[in-house]
A and B are shown apart, each in its own frame.
Chain A
């Protein structure tokens, strides 16, 4: 075991000197996560990141439901609300892109709602905004559906009572209806990141994606040693073959864990990523590195040269990374892809990290995914060990 650590130490020292390894393990994932988070923040659906202006010329009960209940409930989803004094100001803000949309509630809106007249809300939109107008439209439609439901219930009461309700009865019925829970809004987080915010999603996704590249460094370095002739010298030394293979596993494991640790800490401070329970995250990371090592070691045993192993590893890493939802949250989407995503260890890692992200979950919540990853790593790693007998040859 001591000799395995001596060889692994040498490999780590070489990695530190080899800038490409540092780029793959640390710099590239961190930079890419930062760029994606900055450019596409919220595009994953976990955070809407839109601003709405509100112009309330009505000031009645019906407008209060929208302004005080419905719209504020969206603030947790990334909707920012701005009060505007006039339609002109709201229009200017929408045109200038200061807001994505503006809700204009006209004078007499509540009165129109209480009567049988048609009541209208105007939505001004910024032409450049893609998500904001759609969200505003959804909110307005939900609100209209709620108002219609109230009207319908009042009408039903009136018909069953055998006549039109008095103004006092009308107000009581409206008050009763408005206190009932609001129907579900159309705005909701999309799949793949149940608890992820966008920054954490990109940091986790990119980190996991690159983990499968760093995890193959050990197996690739074994083939590199064979090519460079140093493997012959290692095998001629009083070192067992198991120690040589073990050294490469230690090397991959250390690099994988260190790169993920750096990414997690750096993204916490640079991108305000919210990873959640540190113990749970640490357990997920260890299981993730184990699974990545097992898979990429197995892939390397199919290769005869280090270049070939790196190529195979990249193909497997990219394919499973996309399938596992490291770039796009398809893992929990509908259909065949969602089912297939369970074949990807990336998917299990993302699910586990998503469970604890933002402080929502604990160690217990990630244990099923951790068990799946350990099983995956043990299976692929065992096959790789059996196949590595051919790999650990001098020439």
Chain B
């Protein structure tokens, strides 16, 4: 899969200078459960914004409201200067949506899939033909263009899934966890393409629960949990939330629950979370506190097999803000 350098820009802005996406106070509840509570952010042209959070944090619900798939209980969404509701068509024209699940027709060819969605976006047949050739070339499916997609590999389907969203040159590309279940090679290619598109001036909204992807791709990240954005900013700004704190990862066995509870009560330790094979700590002055930590863990009936002092990252920020790991 080659980079999408030639798929440059991306629809002309209808509003000069303003954000491509503006959402404010988004709320959505399912019966008693509040899925999204007051989410709001903006994305400028050429900016990649990441929504980072674990499964069930409210990422997909937020995206569904932004793309007009789901009616919101409250809040506003403006795309390319146009208000968006579930029935508005103007604003939706500016969005390219890549669903988390594959959304292609298995009994149509790759070319027919592109042709169908291109017509839904009001493109002329000649434009679709030309654009399809470009997209198929970029996603490396030119030689398979006339084959039914049911015979494609998972990676090929993923590439076509993204290609369809780019066909009409959207101003805003929304990707909902596009690398879930993707092999490392395809994953790397997808991330490379997103970087290229962003450089070409496209606004990108990217949801993920992989900290590495958010750190690599996103100019700004919104950390979302339980339907709320807990913090937002550049990577540097978010890590600054940790202050002078360090993150220590202990690989250990034994009574980890008791050990982490005991560690939390120690001075200077902001957070201690146990996982299956160890304990993650947020603390100040890690090097001075390590002997005390190891002694406490041993007293609690656990055995430490390795200690890793980790450079502060978004995972640590998430841990500090929510008290749980991204994988939880």
Contact = CB atoms under 8 A, between A and B. Distances in A.
A230 B67 CA distance: 14
A3 interface: yes
Contacts, number: 74
A238 B86 contact: no
Contacts of A18: 107
A394 B120 contact: no
A229 B103 contact: yes
B101 A229 contact: yes
A240 B107 contact: no
Contact of B105 (A230, A238, A240): A230
* A contact residues, range: 20 to 34
Contact of A233 (B89, B93, B103): B103
A238 B108 contact: no
Contact of A239 (B67, B89, B101): B89
Contacts of A14: 105, 107-108
Contacts of B101: 228-229, 232
Interface in A230-256: 230, 232-241
A230 B119 contact: no
B140 interface: no
A1 B108 CA distance: 23
A229 B101 CA distance: 6
A180 interface: no
B132 to A, nearest CB: 15
B122 A238 contact: yes
B103 A241 contact: no
Contact of B69 (A7, A232, A240): A232
Interface in B97-153: 97, 99, 101-108, 112, 116-117, 119-122
A16 to B, nearest CB: 10
A185 B120 CA distance: 67
B287 interface: no
Nearest to B69: A394
A53 B116 CA distance: 68
A237 B92 contact: yes
A229 B102 contact: yes
Given A13-B112, A229-B99, 11 more contacts: A3-B119, A3-B120, A229-B101, A230-B104, A230-B105, A232-B97, A234-B120, A235-B69, A236-B92, A237-B120, A394-B70
8 contacts: A229-B102, A233-B103, A233-B164, A235-B69, A238-B122, A239-B89, A240-B89, A241-B87
